[in-house]
Copies of this chain bind each other. A is one copy, B any other.
């Protein structure tokens, strides 16, 4: 059971150092909470940007090391993109959703639809990179649900509180411009909040209301996280009321045969 909350606090933890391969994200988040003099409480949700999870996992690839396939070359021509990037996108994807000049949207191997397989080229350089080894691509995390569970377990062991963890990314969308936070990993927090059967104040059943809880929590956090490299990759969302859940984040993703747009 989840009940609607009346008040949330959304707090970006400051002073987090630039994340490098092997960093202990749970420890760094706990340090950030300590700096902010915040003790974790039951129902707190820690939102972690996918970018720092990828950095901690060392998901960097130097484009000069990538050899594009013939398929990647053809698709690169069609989409006006670097064939080495297209090769990485294809390797991270299970199907192509849309392609056009300057556009390549795929179904990521993790199950969601995203442009460029979520690969970040804009400012991803590993801290120990030798000069002239880039440009670098940063792939999405390997297994974000598993990582969220590990972070959650560490936070709960350190605090004694029952908490949730969300790993978030910023996605573009069909129909609407601008990016929004979306959940790509969850632990503890139910990704969907099924309110079907709940009744309103007048006793009427609220039909067809299933809220994308994980995505909306990620959207809240996105408003305060800034860009990960600015040092605010951890956001605490306090005030939600939920019963811990082991539901995988994939319950948020429409299956291909349930999606008229994919």
Q: Please name all residues of chain B whose beta carbon is closer than 8 Å to the beta carbon of A131 when the two chains form the complex.
A: none
Contact A8:B9 (CB < 8 A) given known A103-B260, A178-B211, A220-B223 = yes
Q: Which of B181, B211, B232 touches A6 (beta carbons < 8 Å)?
A: B232
- A201-216 contact mask (Cβ, 8 Å, vs B): 1 or 0: 1101011111111011
Whether the Cβ atoms of B202 and A251 lie closer than 8 Å is: no
Q: How far is the CA of A240 from the CA of B232 in the complex (A)?
A: 16
**CB neighbors of B among A139-153 (8 A):** none
Whether the Cβ atoms of A206 and B175 lie closer than 8 Å is: no
Is A90 among interface residues, defined by CB-CB distance under 8 A?
A: no
Q: How far is the CA of A180 from the CA of B209 in the complex (A)?
A: 10
Q: Which of B100, B192, B211 touches A260 (beta carbons < 8 Å)?
A: B100
Q: Which of B174, B191, B192 touches A174 (beta carbons < 8 Å)?
A: B174
Whether the Cβ atoms of B224 and A175 lie closer than 8 Å is: no
Whether the Cβ atoms of A220 and B216 lie closer than 8 Å is: yes
B-contacting residues of A (Cβ < 8 Å)?
A: 4-12, 14, 18, 98, 100, 103, 105, 112-113, 122-123, 170, 173-182, 191-193, 195, 198, 200-202, 204, 206-213, 215-217, 219-220, 222-227, 229-232, 239-240, 251-254, 259-262
Q: List 19 A-B contacts (CB under 8 A).
A: A4-B226, A5-B223, A6-B224, A7-B10, A7-B12, A9-B10, A122-B204, A174-B260, A175-B262, A176-B215, A176-B253, A180-B215, A195-B227, A200-B227, A201-B230, A209-B227, A216-B222, A223-B240, A261-B261
Counting from the closest, the 4 A-B pairs by CB-CB distance are: A178-B212, A174-B261, A4-B226, A219-B219
